Structure 1
Amino acid sequence: MGKVENHAKKNSGSLWDFIRIEFKRGYSLENDEKEFSDRREKVYTFMKIPLEVEKFMFYGFCQCADSFLFVYTFLPLRALFALKSLICRSIYKFKGKRKSNLLSAAESCDLLKIAVLISCSMMLMPVDTSIMYHVIKSQSVIKLYIFFNMLEVGDRLFSSFGQDILDALFWTATEPKSSRRDHFGVIPHYIIAVFYVLLHSILVLCQATTLNVAINSSHKALLAIMMSNNFVELKGSVFKKFDKTNLFQLACSDVRERFHLFILLLIVVVQTMKEYQWTIESFLDLMLDCAYVMISEMLIDWTKHAFITRFNEIHLSVYSDYVLSFAYDTAQSRHNKAFADHSDLVARRMGFIPIPLGVVMIKVLTRCVFIDGRFASIILLLFAFICLITVKIVNLVYILGKACKLIDFHKMSLMKSHHIINGVSCQDMATSPMRPQFRKKQPWNDNKENKPSPLIEVPPLGPTPMFANSNVNIKEACLNTHILEDIVETDLTHSDTDLNISAIRDSDTLSTKSA
């Protein structure tokens, strides 16, 4: 018995032995090399997310800027040419020399856009922004914080439904005579569109005035509270389930939000500089506050996208796919048989509608900028128009150039990925929605209004909500996979490469039979 007890004491060990083992206990990370390599790669990916997000944001920002500048540059010129064509064709038709339509679909849409813009601008002119500023400034900080949040929600709701109202007006005015006419008429639709744009413009003007009060207040408490509201957006987005389509919708909404905030800050700068007699000191102080607002917005976007991609295991290259989708949108709007203008495509994709912002900008500039002398005012207006149209052209050249470069690179990568090894067709089986598989185009039925592309998987709107800050329709958030599929099929049919299409089809047939 004594030997057994001594042996048991030796095996049990003492407290000192337990502590000594804790000091000398060994382990090696090499035993799980893949796990730790993946974690290190996730850290690197997390650090690369801001750069990729900013690349996407910058290209989307340029898209929104092109749509916004179009309202002040090419839209008035196109409307003048359309009006000239209407007058000339009316004279020819009166003489019996012309029997076709007086206006094309694009000319009708341009005239309706400029008519809505002018009507709403004239209706918004009597609104006194100084009275609005003092009424908002007299409220308490908490009331203004709640008021600003209400305006932000209302702006997103207006944006989500506004493009449908404008599209309904354009389609009612340009609908072919052969189709069934089941609508109210052009004039009621025009009145509805003017009413919507006017309400949306007043809401944007209230947003700009509230932001102006926040920036120009002495204690800056409201500005700090408004910026802290962005952190609530993290809670509403980061901890939800996202896939590539949902993230694309959220990214488009963020682009639209950043450009909208930039225009609001521009309005605040113009209004404040007018009150301070355009002095350099006030401008520098104002730039610090504006920089604070924009930098906080950028930091929130970086953090939000970094954690969303981290929690949902989304690869970094997804933002390149999003930029490529914008590139195909740009190319699609330049086709001879394009179904929409580039501004309308941007509005559908991002929820950005430039006409209400254009109305507010006209209202602010006409109130804050005064020029003595009629001749000097005409010269300065002409110079400003030339500057705007120059910026518009440069921006458009950049957008188109980058789009062509991305599309050409994408076509080449698809051609290289579809090669033949030992008579067997090897296809790119990547999971990215921007890299579709090569297959025969499925015939569509006659009813294809709401039928998505067979390559697009629309996430179900089940018990899991999408996200609170979206103002884009889910059908418009899908990537251009059907366009990519058509382009790939056309390129494979008409390209001069060494790909033997008949060999590919024969090999696919043999593999199907053998299976």
Structure 2
Amino acid sequence: MKLASIVRSPSVSANLSQSSSDGNSEMSLDWRNFSLYDYIRYELRGTYLLENDAGEMRMRRDKFYKFLKIPRELEKFMWFGFLQCVDVFVSLFTLLPIRFLLSLWFLVTKSRSKSLRDGLSNNQGGSTLKPAEICDLLKGIMFIIGASLIFYIDTSMLYHIIKSQSVIKLYIFFNMLELADKLITSFGLDILDTLYWTATEPRGRKREHFGVIPHLFMTVVYIFVHTILVLLQATTLNVAINSSNNALLTIWMSNNFVELKGMVFKKFEKNNLFQMSCNDVKERFHLLIILFVVIMQTMKEYNWDERHFWILIPYCLTIFISEFAVDWVKHCFVTRFNDISHEIYHTYTISLSYDIASSNLKSAYSDHADTISKRMGFVPLPLGLLLMKVFVISVPLNGWYGISSIVLGFLCLITFKFWLNILLIGQALEIIEAHRADQESNNPLKRRCTSLPASRQPSMENIPANLNLPLRSKVLNKENQINNKDD
């Protein structure tokens, strides 16, 4: 038979004999007498054993279990990053007004005979304001000017213009807004850093910038344009939720799943995955603020009727659940296809913890809010201006009742901000200490640095006795010289 001739070939016989010697001896067959009946019988009754490939099967099972752990580890990181975004956003309405007033007071009292341009300088002869106070003053000025401009925008007119468009036009329009938001956010972080450095750069160097006033003008234009984009996003989503035709909302939600096509099959390194994870944290917070704005606008249109609130909640929950599902599926398959362990998200959490700890040092090079904004790609000013505008036009606060409500709300908000910041700092320090303890247990001979990278000092406690003896003796001589000078 043709089957018997194939089986009797030298290559096939060699492979079969090798597999028989590796496995159970009872599995050997007499291939010379192998008939068609025997072939059919063995095809119908499988005789393979999975334990012959136990190592591969265990590896696949472990890979599957790690795949199931991705959502849990991802949410730990996302929750930690989300709380940091909340902390930065709340500080926009609590600490920034206080810091702005203090900086303005210092500017007026310390430089009555100086101009504003001299006050914003940072020369070695003595500047009127510290760099942190200059940045707070600029942030307050940008917030005030942006709020003054955004209140001239008629949200009702925008709503009716968007509502009169077709479903396809709105779908394309929303995709354009989402893309423009990502691009302008990246541009906004650069222009803000440029403004802060231009205002606080030491004098005496060669002039390599346009000046503080032109940079401030460009930053205000950016903030106004970005706020308009966010307002259009919120208005488009408001039209989708309150429309009698649910097709627009369905198409908008399906846009999240289109994101999977562009992300899942790409090659990702660990640094790229970190950037994508931080961007997902920012997008989740961004979506929460927009949904809150939509709820406030809708409740205002229906005179704060409770029934319409419970009508809106299922739509908002559906949008948020779809966002969670897309993030889980995206990260699960990105880590699977790029062979990245679920433990990488704990490493990302450690990195965020070091950001929190380093930004609270005396030698910190940036404010805590600015550090988190750069890490997450999050610019809080446009969202803050949008929320303030919607709150002012939606909630009537008049007379002493309105003033007392604003004061009470401010006190509650600043209390929450302090509590949240203390909670984040404590949690960050716990994560850092656990990370260092784990490093010391795994690498006992590795240099043990008891201080943060921003405040490293040469110390004998940081150098093991059996490692780097020349450096140890050098540090010891330096410490002896310091002690002799003190004596």
Change (3 A) 1:86 1:61: same
Shift of 1:13: 4.9
Partner of residue 71, structure 1: 92
Structure 2 residue aligned with 1:412: 437
Is 1:35 aligned to residue 56 of structure 2? yes
Query: Do residues 186 (structure 1) and 186 (structure 2) align?
Result: no
Superposed CA offset, 1:395-428 (max 9, x none):
2122111111011112222222332xxxxx5x5x
Partner residue of 1:447? none
* Residue of structure 1 aligned with 2:73, choices 52, 55, 68: 52
1:181 is paired with a residue of what secondary structure? coil
Structure-1 separation of matches of 2:113 and 2:159: 53
Q: Which amino acid aligns with 1:377?
A: G
Aligned to 1:143, which of 154, 159, 169? 169
Over 3 Å counting, the alpha-carbon distance change for 1:193 and 1:39 in structure 2 is same
* Cα distance between partner residues in 2 of 1:153 and 1:280: 35
**Which structure 2 residues correspond to residues 155-234 of structure 1 after superposition, within 5 A?**
155-234=181-260
The match for 1:435 is none
Q: CA deviation at 1:66?
A: 0.9
Partner amino acid, structure 1, of 2:461: H
Residue of 367, 379, 385 corresponding to 1:341: 367
- Paired letter, 1:494: E
- 1:491 and 1:285, CA in 2 relative to 1: closer, same or farther beyond 3 A? farther
Query: Aligned to 2:465, what secondary structure does the other structure show?
Result: helix
Q: Residue 504 of structure 1 is aligned with which of 463, 467, 480?
A: 467
Could you tell which deviates more after superposition, 128-137 or 25-34? Answer: 25-34
Of the candidates 290, 295, 303, which is equivalent to residue 269 of structure 1? 295
Distance in structure 2 (CA, Å) of the matches to 1:309 and 1:231: 18
Quickly say closer, same or farther: Cα 1:42–1:286, change in 2 above 3 A.
same
Match of 2:387 in 1: 361
Q: State the alpha-carbon separation in 2 of the partners of residues 286 and 350 from structure 1.
A: 29
Amino acid of the residue matched to residue 504 of structure 1?
L
Query: What does 1:57-456 align with in structure 2 at a 5 Å threshold?
Result: 57-91=78-112, 100-371=126-397, 373-419=398-444, 425=445, 438=447
Q: Please, what TM-score do these two structures have when normalized by structure 1? A: 0.80
Does the aligned pair in 1 maintain the 2:264–2:333 contact within 8 Å? Answer: yes
- Count of aligned residue pairs for this structure pair: 434
The CA deviation at 1:501 is 2.1
Counterparts of 1:183 and 1:490, CA distance in 2: 35
Say which SS state the counterpart of residue 360 (structure 1) adopts.
helix
SS, match of residue 179 in structure 1: coil
Any unmatched runs of 5+ in structure 2?
1-7, 9-30, 116-124, 473-487
Q: CA deviation at 1:321?
A: 0.4
- Whichever structure has more helix as a proportion of its residues is 2
1:30-80 C-alpha deviation (Å, 9 max, x unpaired): 111111111111111111111111000001101111111111000001111
Deviation at 1:206, TM superposition (A): 0.2
2:440–2:448 Cα contact (<8 Å) kept: no
Q: TM-score, normalised by structure 2?
A: 0.84
The more displaced of 192-201 and 42-51 is 42-51
The CA distance in 2 between the partners of 1:60 and 1:290, in whole Å, is 22
Amino acid in structure 2 at the alignment position of 1:401: G
Percent identity between matched residues is: 48
- Matches for 1:11-30 after TM superposition, within 5 Å: 11=32, 13-30=34-51
Superposition deviation, residue 370 in structure 1: 0.9
Aligned residue type for 1:321: T
RMSD: 2.4
Distance in 2 of aligned mates of 1:185 and 1:504: 51
User: 1:126 offset after TM fit, Å?
Assistant: 1.3
Q: Is the 8 A contact 2:295 2:312 kept in 1?
A: yes
Unmatched 5+ stretches in structure 1: 1-7, 420-424, 428-437, 441-482, 510-515
Q: Is this contact kept in 2: 1:492–1:501, CA < 8 A?
A: no
Cα displacement (A) at 1:28? 1.1
| Aligned-partner Cα distance in 2 for 1:162–1:103 | 25
Q: Distance in 2 between matches of 1:157 and 1:188?
A: 22
Q: Would the aligned equivalents of 2:171 and 2:248 in 1 still touch at CA under 8 Å?
A: yes
Q: Which amino acid aligns with 1:418?
A: N
Structure with greater Cα Rg:
2
Deviations 1:367-405 (A, max 9, x none): 11112x411110011111112112212221221111110
- Give the distance between the partners of 1:409 and 1:270, measured in 2 at CA: 43
User: Which whole-Å CA distance do the structure 2 matches of 1:269 and 1:251 have between them?
Assistant: 27
Matched AA of 1:397: I
CA 1:15–1:501 in 2, change beyond 3 Å: closer, same or farther? closer
* Structure 1 residue 93: Cα displacement: 8.1
- In 2, the alpha carbon distance for the partners of 1:416 and 1:348 equals 33
Q: Is the 2:96–2:136 contact (alpha carbons within 8 Å) kept by the matching residues of 1?
A: yes
CA distance in 1, matches of 2:381, 2:471: 52
- Contact 2:363/2:454 (<8 A) preserved: no
Distance 1:486 1:173, change over 3 A: closer
